[in-house]
Amino acid sequence: MVMRIALPGQARDTATTEVPLEMLSACHGRVQAQCETLRRLCGHLPRHGADRGAVEAAEAVLRYFRQAAPHHHADEEADLFPALRDAAHDAERDAVLRLTQALALEHRALENLWRPLEAGLEGVRGGDGAALSQAMAEAFIAAYERHIEREEAELLPMAERLLDGAALARIGAAMRARRGIAAP
């Protein structure tokens, strides 16, 4: 389990777009929870098949990775990464560029791992208890765990250090717009 950053003034379980870095960290916790659901589903299917619990678990994982995860990647790539590149100066600029480019590539790799997994989860949803590959699920989970670790250890602390209140407010506003959330 990855230790998520704790930012002043906001509890993790109530993170909102008003504190966008904390919201991103809270999303990491939700990704980890869905990965754990996926891991348990892989253990459940050989014994019980695509029963009601398996179908519900598959639907929950599908819902999260189809809706929330793409928003999270967009929050980073469309808003956080450009803000970091704008805020970085001199020696930090190269580090910011390397990190944001590497993380964007990781997003593409995660999306590529998701596609066949999504098809397997759809199979479970349709009643096929053998549709989900445990090896593919474990590869997806491991890749997401490494990715989250890197974002928590490198990206979010860098953002906390480099971004001012105005940049964070713009990121929060973009997150709300992406999700159709009214401004506070």
14 pLDDT tier (thresholds 50, 70, 90): low
Mean pLDDT of the chain: 92
Domain map (residue ranges) of the chain = 16-179
Residue 4 has pLDDT above 80, yes or no: no
**Pair 92, 162: CB distance under 8 Å:** yes
Could you report the per-residue pLDDT of 96-136, keeping only the tens digit for each?
999 999 999 999 999 999 999 999 999 999 999 999 999 99
Report the b/e string of 112-150 with b at 16+ CB within 10 A.
ebbeebbebbebbbeeebebbbeebbeebbebbbebbee
Could you report the per-residue pLDDT of 34-79, keeping only the tens digit for each?
999 999 999 999 999 999 999 999 999 999 999 999 999 999 999 9
Domain 16-179 has what CATH class? mainly alpha
Residue 152 burial (CB count, 10 A)? 18
pTM of the model: 0.89
Q: What phi, psi does 105 have (nearest 5°)?
A: -65, -40
pLDDT, residue 169, reads 96
Could you report the per-residue pLDDT of 140-180, keeping only the tens digit for each?
999 999 999 999 999 999 999 999 999 999 999 999 999 88
CA dist 7 and 71 (Å) reads 21
Residue percentage of the chain with pLDDT more than 70 = 92
